[in-house]
Structure 1
Amino acid sequence: MTATHRNTPDLFALSDVRGPVLRPGDDGYADEVTGFNLAALHTPDVVVGATGVDDIVAALRWASATGTPVAVQATGHGANFPIDHGLLISTARMTDVRIDPDRRLATVAAGARWRDVLEATAPHGLAALCGTSTDAGVVGYTLGGGLPVLGRAYGYAADLVRSFQVVTPDGTLRESDPEHEPELFWALRGGKGNVGVVASMVCELLPLDTIYGGGVYCPGEHAEVLLRTWTDWTRTLPDAMCSAFTLLRLPPFPEIPEPLRGGFWARVAIAWPGDPAEGERLLAPIRAAAPVSVDTVEVMPYAAMDRIHMEPQDPLPARESCALLRDLGPEALRTFLSQAGPDVRDYPLLMVELRHLGGALARPAPHEDAICARDAEYILETVGVLAAPPAAQAIEQATTSLYEAMSPYGTGHTMVNLHGTPGSASDRARAWSPEVYDRLRKDKSAYDPANLLAFGHTVTGP
């Protein structure tokens, strides 16, 4: 150990951990704690690189015995909160994916990315409900409910979970499903990481190998007509048509393809799992709404879903946030455009997106869960890249202004995965209804009375 280490309890009890046990200054520590979102720079006192469920059990038993707070990270896409002490359990080595094609089930380890799952399911003509980036971790995404690209067609990713293997903060390994530990099963689907550390989960798969999807890009000066057309269009669609309207102000980075690089674009992205000819017919009003510069909509393998939203694949420092919206009437659209539209010069946010919800996302889950977004018709999401301190200040001001202006049209709630940096207890509570929040707090008291899982978007007991 080097002199840079902070005082931490004796690590002898972690000697049976098969993965690395690191402290600040050790070789590999920096790589182990760095996640996709570089805005959250983690400096835990101890990091355990778990290789399996036994390592998670050992780490949590040590944390429970020593009163050490715990955080968990697989890919770090949701790293909106820096960890400056305590224990970080990295599950990045736990990437096993096992497919049962006959029963259409996937068993997914804690650190697997959606890309790992899609590569395993594609040979069987099956698909899982992933989000806009297959680089994101499966478990963390699902614990927050999981808003899929094909959500309107099939619901939330958490709706398809059959069971969890989870270690509660006292170090107890539990199997949770609708019949066994049903309250734990409820809290793990939409309640994020408040009650335990998931080692693996089993989820249902869909018989789907191709989709019709991509993006229609128009120059940003046509944002208003495209937005108004898209909003009207979403009120006429069958449930299986999934779409989002996005304003993109792209930097001149070489990894961004021409002609999009360095431009301001208004985009409608779609995903349609039905007959491609019907999808093309449905899309016609969008293609006719404004001059189209780039059109990437095509039939593609489901495993190629990253082509639809074209999200960044390299780590970056980001500030994200979201709000659930009841509807998008004329006044809401005027407000949105006044805040982020083409007349706003030097706007600092990389992405401002409105995603269409409803459809299967509005239906009750097969088993009760903690997701509280089923009453929203749209979700507003923003991302800003924190390149330098002046940019960070401008991003914060623009983000705050936009959400305050759009608040009259919202439900008052967020989605926990897209909420952004968790603030006060009242701010964190916005991810759930008051009833669900109170129930989560009771579950927190039951499963984590010492509040060891204290980092990120957590709640405290009553």
Structure 2
Amino acid sequence: MSNLEARTEPILPQSSFADLDARTTGTVAVPGDEAYDAFVSPWNLAIPVRPAAVVAARSAQDVVEAVRFAADNGMHVAPQATGHGAIAELVTELLVVTKDLDECVVHPEGWARVGAGVKWIRVVEAAAPFGLAPLSGSITDVGIVGYTTGGGLGPMARTYGMASDKVRAIEVVTGDGVLRRATPTEHPELFFALRGGKGMLGIVTAIEFDLVHQPTFYGGSLWFDGDDAAAVIERWQQWSADLPELATTSFALFQLPDIPGVPPALAGRLTLSVRYVWTGEAEEGEKRFAAIRESAPVLLDDVALKPYTAIDSVHTDPLDPTPAYEAAAVLTDFPAEAAAALLALNGPGSASPQILVEVRQMGGAIAHGGEHESAFDSRGAAYSLLIVGIAGVPGVQSHASAIVKALEPWVGGHRLPNFTFAPEDYADAYGEFTSARLRRAIRTYDPRGVMAIGHVLFA
């Protein structure tokens, strides 16, 4: 049981939040109010987000007032922008919704500034006319702040590193209720902790980051029948081992439903998608990818020279809110034995209940790190594993656990903060040195333990 779960009495009478409403320009809602459900609903519909109250902030000052109100009333606070990555145990008291902080400015010289409510798609589209691109996620519908403060493992990560490596400045209301600007030289320990430490120190209101010159890429997804998964994965293992840092790749076993929007060739069957992004010359990228094209008969080939605005075609992540059950790990290696163990549980004839089982190759610029050190401790991982099923489907949770268990000989290192789905698992995302620095930063910037995730981990 976490520190947050232990509280059983009401936080405050609902009428007490009238004071907070008077102090903010945004909307304050409690259970029963018409606006409440719309504000608190996360992207993952299986996560029951039901705080005692929610503040829909319209300004950084609204966030300041919300954090100070929480501190004065002994409450814990959690932020939510787009609703991705919600953890129910962290959102029991006061939720601060930042989706209306929607500033978005792209500077042609190569950097951007955005508010906490902005999704990647706005920056992708605004940067494209200048031949620039952000280190966006596997789908551009995800919010920038939550993704980046968790590190940000994107489809160009082996070339350019993590999204957090490109951050120039973060404006944040820390747990002591002060709006601060953190840079490598202003509050450097806060700057360290916010890049990888998620929302432990405060609520981000704006973020500034560098863009890369990447008007186009060669890539997309190549789909095979599930019966050919063993042969394709074997080829992928051999081929990816020799890839330079200009390439980022992954594969995923899919079981897509037969519904509108799913190509008929992929619907209602087990398929394997190999994802590929080549950031160099397209001709060289095509030559490099030939070995995968030749590995088995192809169902659907969407690998081509594309503008960066088509980056979502690589991972083909779902756009609409979904009731999902998710599990994840990082791997030290992915040899033939690991592939066999994975296919035994999720390959042909396995009757797997999972919609997606993904293995991403890491290394490259991920391992090198950025110019400034950060609280992202997963750089030593060789691969990441992600499992997604539909919540409530019989056996989906136990089956996901069985997959992780089967790959246990190769599980090791610090888990990705953005692929962490329970408060207690965050402890595995940080090493001893980083944990000590996070604790010191919390004592400095959130001495009363107002921020929910920091309180759970380090109280």
Q: Is TM > 0.5 for Structure 1 vs Structure 2?
A: yes
Question: In the alignment, is the contact (CA less than 8 A) between 1:5 and 1:24 conserved in 2?
Answer: no
Report Cα offsets for 1:152-203 as digits up to 9, x if no partner. Answer: 0000000000011111112101110010100000000111110011110110
- Of 317, 336, 339, which aligns to 1:333? 339
Question: In the alignment, is the contact (CA less than 8 A) between 1:95 and 1:116 conserved in 2?
Answer: no
Distance verdict in 2 for CA 1:362–1:5, change over 3 Å: closer
The alignment partner of 1:112 has SS state of: coil
- Give, in whole Å, the separation in 2 of the partners of 1:157 and 1:15: 37
- Of 107, 111, 116, which aligns to 1:105? 111
- Give, in whole Å, the separation in 2 of the partners of 1:37 and 1:456: 22
Q: Is residue 459 from structure 1 mapped to residue 457 from structure 2 by the alignment?
A: yes
Q: Is residue 366 from structure 1 mapped to residue 371 from structure 2 by the alignment?
A: yes
- Give, in whole Å, the separation in 1 of the partners of 2:436 and 2:113: 31
Question: In the alignment, is the contact (CA less than 8 A) between 1:14 and 1:58 conserved in 2?
Answer: no
What does residue 87 of structure 1 align with? 94
- Give, in whole Å, the separation in 2 of the partners of 1:118 and 1:457: 35
What does residue 396 of structure 2 align with? 395
What does residue 258 of structure 1 align with? 264
Q: Is residue 417 from structure 1 mapped to residue 424 from structure 2 by the alignment?
A: no
What does residue 382 of structure 2 align with? 377
The alignment partner of 1:459 has SS state of: helix
Question: In the alignment, is the contact (CA less than 8 A) between 1:43 and 1:83 conserved in 2?
Answer: no
Structure 1 gap segments, 5+ residues each: none
Q: Is residue 357 from structure 1 mapped to residue 362 from structure 2 by the alignment?
A: yes
Match of 2:363, as an amino acid? G
Question: In the alignment, is the contact (CA less than 8 A) between 2:254 and 2:356 conserved in 1?
Answer: yes
The alignment partner of 2:458 has SS state of: coil
Q: In angstroms, what is the RMSD of aligned CA positions? A: 1.8
The alignment partner of 2:113 has SS state of: strand
Question: In the alignment, is the contact (CA less than 8 A) between 1:81 and 1:456 conserved in 2?
Answer: no
Q: Is residue 55 from structure 1 mapped to residue 56 from structure 2 by the alignment?
A: no
The alignment partner of 1:293 has SS state of: strand
CA drift of 1:212 comes to 1.1
Question: In the alignment, is the contact (CA less than 8 A) between 2:165 and 2:370 conserved in 1?
Answer: yes
Match of 2:405, as an amino acid? E
What does residue 119 of structure 1 align with? 125
- Give, in whole Å, the separation in 2 of the partners of 1:257 and 1:449: 53
Q: Is residue 131 from structure 1 mapped to residue 169 from structure 2 by the alignment?
A: no
CA drift of 1:256 comes to 1.8
Q: Which moved more, 1:254-263 or 1:29-38?
A: 254-263
CA drift of 1:84 comes to 5.8
Question: In the alignment, is the contact (CA less than 8 A) between 1:23 and 1:47 conserved in 2?
Answer: yes
- Of 62, 75, 83, which aligns to 2:82? 75
- Give, in whole Å, the separation in 1 of the partners of 2:371 and 2:455: 25
Question: In the alignment, is the contact (CA less than 8 A) between 1:190 and 1:369 conserved in 2?
Answer: yes
- Give, in whole Å, the separation in 2 of the partners of 1:457 and 1:335: 38
What does residue 29 of structure 2 align with? 22
Question: In the alignment, is the contact (CA less than 8 A) between 1:428 and 1:457 conserved in 2?
Answer: no
What does residue 446 of structure 1 align with? 444
Q: Is residue 408 from structure 1 mapped to residue 409 from structure 2 by the alignment?
A: yes
CA drift of 1:237 comes to 0.7
Question: In the alignment, is the contact (CA less than 8 A) between 1:215 and 1:270 conserved in 2?
Answer: yes
CA drift of 1:219 comes to 0.3
Distance verdict in 2 for CA 1:10–1:216, change over 3 Å: closer
Question: In the alignment, is the contact (CA less than 8 A) between 1:319 and 1:385 conserved in 2?
Answer: yes
CA drift of 1:11 comes to 2.9
* Normalised TM-score (structure 2): 0.94
Structure 2 gap segments, 5+ residues each: 1-9
Question: In the alignment, is the contact (CA less than 8 A) between 2:449 and 2:455 conserved in 1?
Answer: no
Question: In the alignment, is the contact (CA less than 8 A) between 1:216 and 1:268 conserved in 2?
Answer: yes
What does residue 324 of structure 1 align with? 330
CA drift of 1:379 comes to 0.7
Question: In the alignment, is the contact (CA less than 8 A) between 1:212 and 1:272 conserved in 2?
Answer: yes
Q: Is residue 278 from structure 1 mapped to residue 313 from structure 2 by the alignment?
A: no
Question: In the alignment, is the contact (CA less than 8 A) between 1:41 and 1:83 conserved in 2?
Answer: no
What does residue 274 of structure 2 align with? 268
Question: In the alignment, is the contact (CA less than 8 A) between 2:28 and 2:55 conserved in 1?
Answer: yes
Give me the identity figure in percent: 39
Distance verdict in 2 for CA 1:458–1:152, change over 3 Å: farther
- Of 353, 370, 382, which aligns to 1:348? 353
Match of 1:126, as an amino acid? L
Report Cα offsets for 1:135-156 as digits up to 9, x if no partner. Answer: 1000000000000110000000
- Give, in whole Å, the separation in 2 of the partners of 1:429 and 1:83: 15
- Give, in whole Å, the separation in 2 of the partners of 1:228 and 1:256: 27
CA drift of 1:128 comes to 0.2
What does residue 243 of structure 1 align with? 249
Report Cα offsets for 1:225-271 as digits up to 9, x if no partner. Answer: 11110011111111111110110011122232322222210110101
The alignment partner of 2:117 has SS state of: coil
Question: In the alignment, is the contact (CA less than 8 A) between 2:78 and 2:91 conserved in 1?
Answer: no
Match of 2:167, as an amino acid? V
CA drift of 1:105 comes to 1.1
Report Cα offsets for 1:347-404 as digits up to 9, x if no partner. Answer: 1111001101111011032101111111111111111111x3xx1x411111111111
Distance verdict in 2 for CA 1:84–1:417, change over 3 Å: closer
- Give, in whole Å, the separation in 2 of the partners of 1:357 and 1:213: 17
Q: Is residue 435 from structure 1 mapped to residue 433 from structure 2 by the alignment?
A: yes
Match of 1:359, as an amino acid? G
- 4+ residue stretches of structure 1 with deviation over 4 A? 455-458
**How does 1:185-224 map onto structure 2 within 5 Å?**
185-224=191-230
- Give, in whole Å, the separation in 2 of the partners of 1:67 and 1:11: 16
